[in-house]
Amino acid sequence: MSNFNKLLVFVSLVCSVSLFWGGPGAYSSRSFQQVWNLGHLLLFAILTYLTLKWSETISHWPFLRQVTVLLTAVFLISLLIEFTQMGLDGRSPDVFDILRNMVGCLFAVVFFSPSRKKSSPTSLRFFQIGVVTALMLFAVPLAFAIVDEIITLKQFPVLSDFETPLERMRWTGGTDHSVVSERARSGNHSLKIHLHTSQYSGIALDYFPKDWRNYRTLAFSVFNPSDIPLKLVCRIHDENHYPNGGDYEDRFNRTLVVRGGWNDIEISLADVMSAPQGRKMDMRRVQNIGIFSVRLPQERVIYLDYLRLVK
């Protein structure tokens, strides 16, 4: 076995183990999450390449037969993998993982199978263009993540002001939210948030520089388009919160009364640090900022803007 093939076997073993153990956590960087997802492409491209290399029978099948049989086999193997992952902590089935596996397989066949040279040039070109297009589409989230992570570092200590096109990727939540230009406290845009009547309705900022030690205040602005005051909760926790059990008392929680118009809110980071009972919040590793409502009697809309740290 050549050194190159030994390397491929080693990489495939590492990737195979990674299907079931390890991987990004809930607050890992978006770029790491996307690179990890692309590991499916790499693994099944290598496995298919080695199959074509080592199996004389399969390597001499007609090209279309190789595509059909190998894709079917990868699809069935992928279903088994996703089903197995259902019983593992922190993992869940993902149809896009199945698609990545199949595209990785197809990449190896259309670019490295000996039989490809005997197929119709038009058919081969069709498959190759399709595979390259799929690879580019799968790479787009990684490119977006890297670009916004660079922007995030340049903007800091501004955490989010909604003036860049990829910024909405930093926010998650079970409620509708979108970047709009109809209102802004700073710049030209803000985040419009629809709050529902469920027990908790809101959004969370998951992706931002985590070391807040050199700052004293978290500041942001909320616009309430109604004259009826609205109660919101701001919660903040560090990376030790969930390992400690995720209890309410182990994080910062503050109720905010948002009146009609713009409300400029400041939160002392000294208060944030001292909020968990029995310990200090690790201000080097702040992990999440949440802003949400609790059991609203009716749906409401707010606008959020210019979230930043102040020295």
Within the chain, how many helices (H) and strands (E) appear? 7, 11
Instruction: Please check the confidence at residue 88 and state whether its pLDDT lies above 70.
Output: no
Per-residue confidence (pLDDT) for residue 232, from 0 to 100: 97
Judge whether residue 138 has pLDDT over 90.
yes
203, 173 contact by CB (below 8 A): yes
C-alpha–C-alpha distance, residues 132 and 97, integer Å: 17
User: Quick one: pLDDT at residue 188?
Assistant: 95
The reported pLDDT for the residue numbered 300 is 96
**Mean pLDDT score, 213-218:** 96
Q: How confident is the model at residue 90 (pLDDT cuts 50, 70, 90)?
A: low
Q: pLDDT band at residue 89, thresholds of 50, 70 and 90?
A: low
d(CA 273, CA 279): 9
Which of 11-15, 109-113, 153-157, 255-259 is predicted least confidently?
Answer: 11-15
Q: At 251, is the pLDDT very low, low, confident or very high (cuts 50, 70, 90)?
A: very high
pLDDT reported for residue 234: 97
- Could you tell me if 162 and 305 are in contact, meaning their C-beta atoms sit under 8 angstroms apart? yes
Query: Are 174 and 181 a contacting pair, CB within 8 Å?
Result: no
Confidence (pLDDT) at 4:
82
Query: At residue 87, does pLDDT exceed 80?
Result: no
pLDDT above 80 (res 79): yes
Task: Encode burial over 134-173: b for 16+ CB neighbours within 10 A, e otherwise.
Answer: bbeebeebbebbeebbebbeebebbbbbbbbeebebbbeb
DSSP state of 114: G
Confidence band of 11 (pLDDT split at 50, 70, 90): confident
- This prediction has a pTM of 0.82
pLDDT at residue number 131 = 94
Share of the chain above pLDDT 90, in %: 68
**16-26: per-residue pLDDT in tens?**
887 777 677 76
User: What's the pLDDT at 55?
Assistant: 86
* pLDDT confidence bin for 181, thresholds 50/70/90: very high
CA distances from 231 to 25, 138, 201, 205 (A): 31, 41, 12, 19
Alpha-carbon span 311 to 309, nearest angstrom: 7
Q: Where are the beta strands (DSSP E) in 75-229?
A: 158-160, 171-172, 177-180, 190-195, 200-205, 217-224
Location of structure tokens 């799968």: 138
